Structure 1
Amino acid sequence: MTTPAEPARQTVWSRPARGQRGPAPTHSRDEIVTAAIALADADGIGAVSMRAVATALDTGAGSLYRYLSSRDDLLDLMADRVAEELRPYPESDGDWLAAMLRIARGQLDLHRKHPWLVEVLPRPTAFGPQSLAWFDHCLGVLRPVPAGTAAKFEAIAMMIGVVSLFARSEAAGPPPGFDGIDMTAFPNLIAAMTAPPGPAEPRDLFEVTITSVLRGLLTEPA
């Protein structure tokens, strides 16, 4: 929360694409973002610094500050750029829940393509035009749902959180085992792990979670 003595951060979208002073630009903001995304895709978001991006563009780090005021600006631009890859958006075709599930799957695929997104999106982010267009489309899909605006915003936010959770879990891989731990102190865990398996039914946990969250937040209880 900001105070009068601490003005809100000016977003990258409210500033010109480059400073008005200095020599003619040798690179565009678009080229800078493209280089940064390539670095993040290859080596993770930790590899993205103003210096590293400048090196990839064969220029000095100081020159990038004619286009961006900080690394936060760069991260905002990167997140919004890859959000464009969510197009074309799934349409509802009369079934809003199925459409939202397809939208969520598209998000998960985007995370798989750009694993660094799980580190970028939780930070305070200045939403750009592509991100806002995606959010606007979600609200359009939910227009027939007789829930309040606040509930719809909450449902979309929760969907984003579930997608991020699944993406993070996939990136982390299977958890380590219990080698070297005396399990006798955990009887409930032992019972669960040694219980006979239930009926083998195919179950899409992602679908179950997304649809359960959206139904729970947007539909009236029976």
Structure 2
Amino acid sequence: MTSPAEPVRQAVWSRPAKGTRGPAPAHSRDEIVAAAIAMADADGIGAVSMRAVATALGTGAGSLYRYLSSRDDLLDLMADRVAGELRPYPDAAGDWLDAMLRIARRQLELYRRHPWLVDILPRPTAPGPQSLAWFDHCLGILRPVPAGPAAKFEAIAMMIGVVSLFARSESAGPPAGFDGIDMAAFPNLVAALTAPPVPSAPRDLFEATVRSVLRGLLSDAG
């Protein structure tokens, strides 16, 4: 929460794409964002700074402030730019739950292409036009559901959280082992890990989780 002494950051969407003072700009805002995304895809979001992006474009860091007021602006633009890759949106016809699952799978694919995205989405920021268009499409899918707007907003937010959790789990790799730990102190865990596997049909855990979350939040909501 912003304290009274802290100025509220104006959303980058409400400001012009470049400053009006100084020499003619050598690069567009789109070029800056594209360079930053390429850098994040290659080396992670930690590699993205105003200075690093300026160097990649062959200019000085100060020149980027003619287009952006801060790194936060750059991160906002990056997140919204890649959200545009969710287009064209999956078919919304048929059962709403099937349609939302298709949306969730498309979003998971996006996070796999841009693993850094899960690290910047929790930031408090104003959504951009591409993000709003995606959210609007989700609400269109949920229009037949007899639930109130608040329940639908919560369901979409929870779906985003589930997708982010799966994406983060994939990027983290397998868990570390228990070397050096006396497992005798954890008998229930040992029993679970050493129990023989129970034969069962293959299960898509991602689909099961998304369906359960959405159905649970919206089936009985009014």
- Asked if the contact 1:91–1:141 (Cα under 8 Å) also holds between the matched residues in 2, the reply is no
Distance 2:105 2:125 in 1: 22
In the TM superposition, residue 191 of structure 1 has moved relative to its aligned partner by 1.0
In the TM superposition, residue 30 of structure 1 has moved relative to its aligned partner by 0.3
Distance 2:35 2:160 in 1: 26
In the TM superposition, residue 5 of structure 1 has moved relative to its aligned partner by 4.2
In the TM superposition, residue 201 of structure 1 has moved relative to its aligned partner by 1.4
Q: Residue 138 of structure 2 corresponds to which residue in structure 1? A: 138
Q: Which amino acid aligns with 2:205?
A: L
Distance 1:85 1:109 in 2: 10
Q: Which amino acid aligns with 1:26?
A: A
Q: Residue 28 of structure 2 corresponds to which residue in structure 1? A: 28
Distance 1:159 1:123 in 2: 17
In the TM superposition, residue 79 of structure 1 has moved relative to its aligned partner by 0.2
Q: Residue 60 of structure 1 corresponds to which residue in structure 2? A: 60
Give the TM-score normalised by the residue count of structure 2.
0.97
Distance 1:3 1:44 in 2: 31
Q: Which amino acid aligns with 1:143?
A: R
Q: Residue 110 of structure 1 corresponds to which residue in structure 2? A: 110
The answer to whether 1:123 aligns with 2:123 is yes
Q: How does 1:36-115 map to 2 (within 5 A)?
A: 36-115=36-115
In the TM superposition, residue 2 of structure 1 has moved relative to its aligned partner by 3.5
Give the TM-score normalised by the residue count of structure 1.
0.97
Q: Which amino acid aligns with 1:122?
A: P
Distance 1:21 1:124 in 2: 30
Q: Deviations over 1:32-85 (max 9, x none)?
A: 000000000000000100000000000000000000000000000000000000
Q: Deviations over 1:115-167 (max 9, x none)?
A: 00011101112210000000000000000000110000000000001111100
Secondary structure of 1:134's aligned partner: helix
Distance 2:194 2:41 in 1: 40
**Paired residue total:** 221
Secondary structure of 2:124's aligned partner: coil
Q: Which amino acid aligns with 1:95?
A: D
Distance 2:200 2:3 in 1: 57
The answer to whether 1:217 aligns with 2:217 is yes
Cα root mean square deviation, aligned: 1.1
Q: Residue 173 of structure 1 corresponds to which residue in structure 2? A: 173
Which segments of structure 1 move beyond 2 Å, counting only runs of 4 or more? 1-8
In the TM superposition, residue 7 of structure 1 has moved relative to its aligned partner by 3.8
Distance 1:2 1:47 in 2: 27
Q: Residue 152 of structure 1 corresponds to which residue in structure 2? A: 152
Q: Which amino acid aligns with 1:132?
A: L
Q: Which amino acid aligns with 1:91?
A: D
In the TM superposition, residue 91 of structure 1 has moved relative to its aligned partner by 2.3
Distance 1:190 1:47 in 2: 41
Distance 1:188 1:150 in 2: 40
Secondary structure of 2:192's aligned partner: helix
In the TM superposition, residue 8 of structure 1 has moved relative to its aligned partner by 2.2
Distance 1:3 1:200 in 2: 54
Distance 2:3 2:109 in 1: 39
Q: Which amino acid aligns with 1:53?
A: V
In the TM superposition, residue 194 of structure 1 has moved relative to its aligned partner by 1.5
Q: Which amino acid aligns with 1:214?
A: L
Distance 2:48 2:197 in 1: 46
